[in-house]
Structure 1
Amino acid sequence: MTDFKGGFFGLFLRESPHETALIIVLSLLAALFQASALVLVTDGAEGARTGVEHPHHLYYALASILAFSLCKQVALRRAVAMAESTASDIAMRIALRLRDAELQDIERIGADRIHARLTRDTATLSSAAWIAVLSLQIIALLAACLLYVLSVSPIGFCAMAGIVTLSIWAYRPGHRRQEAVAAAASAAEERFFGITRHILEGFNELKVAPAKARELYHRFFLPASEEALERRRELGRHSAWGMVLLDLCIYAILGTVALGLTQMDVITGVVLLLSVTYYLWEHIIGLFSYIPYLMRSRAALRRLDELEQELAELPAAGAGAEAEFEAFELREVRFHYPRRGDSHFSVGPIDLTVRRGETLFVVGANGSGKSTLLKLLTGLYRADEGELLLNGAPVEAADLRPLYSAVFTDYHLFDRLYGVERIDHGLAEGLLQDLQLSGKTRLEGDRFSTTRLSTGQRKRLALIAACLEQRPVLIFDEWTADQDPGFRRYFYHQLLPQLKAEGRTVIAVTHDDRYFHRADRVIHMELGRITDLPQGGVCA
């Protein structure tokens, strides 16, 4: 688990304890050498003013600067490498959990949310490593310099510590608000990017429908953009207030040392203290400038942790195993979609037996439950009631999955035949020829030379890929809907008989009533149930 508690170094300690410990040691050494260089230079300057020479201070200072540069460089390089590795490990863990998750869980979590976590948040996490290391070095430098001030002037140290403590106390409420604003800014940006994705993916539809484009732009895109902008501005205002408070803190220290304690003649090493304070000013400003980035990174880490925990709590999906079958059966199966307002759709009870070598058509009006039935058959949806049987024996849905190759309505066309051990290139060439794709793409090894095809061509290529997997059951969800009449005739008159002759089972959702006679059996879905086929065999 990611577990963002403890911040970046807490995460890194859990992921790579030895490497993190080395980075922390190097960062502390870098701060120590940097403070040593400052002390040696100021001591040398004070000695030159008072006539007390320190002949070796210059060489020690140069050696400290070189050691500081080396430690800082090595710490930053190793931190960036470790952060990239950690981000990759987190992404890999999430990907593996996604592989084992169920479709219902992915739909509930949201594909957009998962994509944002795996891309933007992991990138934010990996890019924040050097900021975290620099922040640690600055804090260590501040601590070392304050200890040095304490050794020179306890009173000056108490004055500086008191002012810094008061400033931190004054800054805390604004910091908490800044964290809330940073989270709100991130959420607003996510909504903005989501609408931007709609514009890019729906470019054609928006281009031919100006009214739709105007409404999307004015009612949704502009408000989302303005909200994200306002959140970023508000975050900037809080950051500016922090910088102003920092300036006030620095001037308070300078004024207290230079004007207050000096006039009271209760402090020694005034020039030294002023030099140290002024030197630290730049580093403190840098530390404050890192805070917004650290907040964004911490928010990204929190979101990654929430997603990983959510996925970890899901029941693991079974992998299934290859099995011979004579028949599989759905018995008294019911499935209920989550209620949305007054809408509540359910499927079942379903009693259905599918036999080996059978060609089965599933017909019915849109929204009747045909695609849901396919998802229940393939185990993409878990049935709320009832049982699945394979060759008469109860099984889990995962046990049926190795039987299937499918082309769903919302299919994804992979450019490679994953998981196919023996590819029949002769069959592939024949199918490409039959479906008029041989001049458009070709199968090179296990990969198609291109998938940049028209909508109908891509769907024909998806069918070819499904056939090449050589699974005993093929599922086609309205495959012919995007095809010309010639390819429909090929599907019903040539491909289906060929598959049947090979002993393969075909389950096809279709509205092509003129071809119903090509099936061994036609089942009709209506309101989530299997009913008698309407008179005349025509489905809306």
Structure 2
Amino acid sequence: MTKKASQTAQPHGLGEKLLRLMASGNRTKQKARDFRLVRLWSSIGKPGLVNLGLIAILSATCGTVVLFLLNAEAREVEYHGYSRLMAFGFLLLLIIYRWAQNYLIREATQSIETALHDRRLATAEDVLNLSLEDIQTVGLRNVMDGSDTHYSSLSQTLVPIIAGAEGLVLLLFMFAYLLFLSPLAALLTTVVVVLTVAGFLTSRGMLDDDMRRATKAEEKYREITEGLVRGAKELSLNPARRRDFQTDVQNRSEYLAQGRGNAAAHFAGMLATGNSASYLMAGSVVFIMPLISQDSSADISRIMIAVMFLLGPISAVVQTFQQVTTAQYALSEIDAFQERVAALSARREQDTSTEEAESFQSVELVNLCYRHGGEQGFAITDIDFLLTRNEIVFMTGGNGSGKTTLLRVLTGLYPRRTGDIQLNGAATPLYQQQSYRNLFSTVFADFHVFPEPYGLDEAGLKRFEHWLNELGIRDKFGPDLRTIDPAALSTGQKKRLGLALALAEDRQILILDEWAADQDPETRRRFYREILPGLRDAGKTILAATHDEQYFDCCDRRVHMATGRLNLEVNDEPIQ
């Protein structure tokens, strides 16, 4: 876990201790397990765990004494007696047992959920500190799983695991009572339990492996099912594509069913073993004890009641095994994701400054190079480019020529590999500071529409409303501009929304990536002939990637990208 996560989680140390305790059984990380256990042992005396331990002991004590009172009152009734004091004590202890059990589960789960909340926040902070390149390297699915999905899986296991832990304490106390009633019965029960645990440990490794395979299969199936929604148009229009897609869905679903079926089979075996062991315990008392000791016959009914009461805690503990396996897998994935994101985030100094950038006069790229995905990836190379204040620059080039990559390096979303970026003649760092990124407002071709206009104050909202009116989509929003429904907008309208948001930020440089491609002819004309010149006259600098040849005369100059290189000498003839 990151340093920030540890610091954030400090006020809720109990939850972190409980998480480390759950993770301590993960055999895939022996060193990490030993480290966690040492830290847990060193902090076991601190109030949080001691309080929960005392509550668990109180719950187990009450449950055991309830059993004792039942046996005692049964004997009293057998001799035609009745004790109101025992009846009152039974009800009182039952209430305390119920309260203690509820308190233990509630406090433990709430503490763990608070610790998970702190982890999520710390991880989100690290993800927000990553460059776009880092996020794309980690992968969208991994970010979603590491930030949400694994947390959901873990949360679903908390109540059964805490209940199973409480059941284990109760089991120990009731076993002590059974030992008091009959050492022989306790010995027979111990033999059965030892054999059962040995069977559990043998099956545990196979269950762990099956759970991991099932989880991976679930991730793959979830990935393909996104196509049911996102690719609905393409699937409806192409029967062959739909048929192949259905085949892929079927194959992945079969793999998922097989993985879950194998895990369920192993767990069913463990559960059946636990249930059989329960009956075997009772059978050993009824059928074996009389053969070994005749003295125990008089107490056989009391011993049987004690053995039958053991069945509940044993069942709770057995059913916890699968939940513990799921929790440990989710925790290991969360830890691995946190470590990976923290390592990437540590490469750059965190910078969330909201201070405005210095007055922009020029941004210059000097012999700049950037390469995607290692030595064999696409690269932009030997880029020399000067962007000055109050000008409109068009960037042209075919698809895949490197326009978007260059724009992302220029704005600090990608860290350059070699070369320099100079702001007003001064060199800037490899990972650009927020004050540099504050120069730019952008509308990339793949821009995301958030559900709210984050980052806009009241003045920004007024500018936002002005540009919504200018772009002809104000009627798409209600009186409250703080709520945005992307589903209610067409592709072109989403682009207009993106431009309105970018202009509402009131930054010095506007970066546009094929903005006009989805606009109707009249909007496109107004954009090139009126909006862009008006922005330049208002002091803005515009760098726009475009294919609209009929409007090349609207820029102050034009540069051209081809196969990762930038040509600064471009005539006014249409580009082929």
Common fold: TM-score over 0.5: yes
Select 2:418's aligned residue among 358, 377, 385.
385
Question: What residue number does 2:148 align with?
Answer: 119
1:225 paired to 2:253: yes
CA contact (8 A) 1:41 1:58 kept: no
Larger deviation: 315-324 or 457-466? 315-324
Superimposed CA distance per residue, residues 142-169 of structure 1 (whole angstroms, 9 cap, x where no aligned partner): 1001111222222322222122112211
Query: Counterpart of 1:357 in 2: which secondary structure?
Result: coil
Question: What residue number does 1:337 align with?
Answer: 372
1:198 paired to 2:227: yes
Q: Shift of the alpha carbon at 1:171?
A: 2.0
Distance 1:429 1:38, change over 3 A: closer
Aligned mates of 1:354, 1:24 — CA distance in 2: 66
Q: Shift of the alpha carbon at 1:272?
A: 2.4
Matches of residues 366-445 of structure 1 in structure 2 within 5 Å?
A: 366-396=399-429, 397-398=432-433, 399-421=435-457, 423=459, 427-441=463-477, 444=480
Larger deviation: 330-339 or 453-462? 330-339
Q: Shift of the alpha carbon at 1:299?
A: 1.7
Q: Shift of the alpha carbon at 1:420?
A: 2.9
Question: What residue number does 1:6 align with?
Answer: 21
Aligned mates of 1:425, 1:99 — CA distance in 2: 24
CA contact (8 A) 1:423 1:446 kept: no
Larger deviation: 498-507 or 418-427? 418-427
Larger deviation: 224-233 or 417-426? 417-426
Select 1:486's aligned residue among 522, 527, 538.
522
Q: Shift of the alpha carbon at 1:49?
A: 4.5
CA contact (8 A) 2:559 2:570 kept: no
Matches of residues 93-492 of structure 1 in structure 2 within 5 Å?
A: 93-218=122-247, 220-265=248-293, 268=296, 269-314=299-344, 315-316=347-348, 317-319=350-352, 321-322=355-356, 323-339=358-374, 344-396=377-429, 397-398=432-433, 399-421=435-457, 423=459, 427-441=463-477, 444=480, 452-492=488-528
Larger deviation: 383-392 or 122-131? 122-131
Aligned mates of 2:423, 2:374 — CA distance in 1: 31
Aligned mates of 1:43, 1:95 — CA distance in 2: 58
Aligned mates of 2:147, 2:572 — CA distance in 1: 52
Matched AA of 2:399: N
Q: Shift of the alpha carbon at 1:239?
A: 1.3
Distance 1:427 1:157, change over 3 A: closer
Larger deviation: 488-497 or 196-205? 196-205
Aligned mates of 2:112, 2:91 — CA distance in 1: 31
TM-score by length of 2: 0.86
CA contact (8 A) 1:155 1:267 kept: no
Q: Shift of the alpha carbon at 1:503?
A: 1.4
Superimposed CA distance per residue, residues 8-38 of structure 1 (whole angstroms, 9 cap, x where no aligned partner): 7989989xx7555433432332122111111
CA contact (8 A) 1:365 1:539 kept: no
Superimposed CA distance per residue, residues 145-196 of structure 1 (whole angstroms, 9 cap, x where no aligned partner): 1111222222322222122112211221211110111111111111111111
Question: What residue number does 1:538 align with?
Answer: 574
Q: Shift of the alpha carbon at 1:510?
A: 0.7
CA contact (8 A) 1:428 1:443 kept: no
Aligned mates of 2:487, 2:196 — CA distance in 1: 61
Q: Shift of the alpha carbon at 1:360?
A: 1.2
Aligned mates of 2:471, 2:68 — CA distance in 1: 80
Q: Shift of the alpha carbon at 1:138?
A: 0.7
Aligned mates of 1:267, 1:504 — CA distance in 2: 99
Aligned mates of 1:170, 1:158 — CA distance in 2: 19
Distance 1:432 1:344, change over 3 A: closer
RMSD over aligned Cα atoms: 2.8
CA contact (8 A) 2:368 2:420 kept: yes
Matched AA of 1:294: V
Distance 1:415 1:71, change over 3 A: closer
Query: Counterpart of 1:319 in 2: which secondary structure?
Result: coil
Distance 1:351 1:532, change over 3 A: closer
Question: What residue number does 2:70 align with?
Answer: 41
Superimposed CA distance per residue, residues 450-501 of structure 1 (whole angstroms, 9 cap, x where no aligned partner): 7621111111111111111110000000101111221111111111101110
Query: Counterpart of 2:474 in 1: which secondary structure?
Result: coil
Query: Counterpart of 2:188 in 1: which secondary structure?
Result: helix
Query: Counterpart of 1:417 in 2: which secondary structure?
Result: coil
Q: Shift of the alpha carbon at 1:438?
A: 3.1
CA contact (8 A) 2:189 2:281 kept: yes
CA contact (8 A) 1:347 1:529 kept: yes
Q: Shift of the alpha carbon at 1:132?
A: 2.0
Matched AA of 2:370: F
Aligned mates of 1:209, 1:449 — CA distance in 2: 30
Larger deviation: 299-308 or 23-32? 23-32
CA contact (8 A) 1:182 1:296 kept: yes
1:522 paired to 2:558: yes
Determine what percentage of the aligned residue pairs are the same residue: 26
Distance 1:454 1:233, change over 3 A: same
Q: Shift of the alpha carbon at 1:371?
A: 0.4
Distance 1:69 1:426, change over 3 A: closer
Aligned mates of 1:532, 1:353 — CA distance in 2: 10
Matched AA of 1:437: I
Distance 1:441 1:19, change over 3 A: same
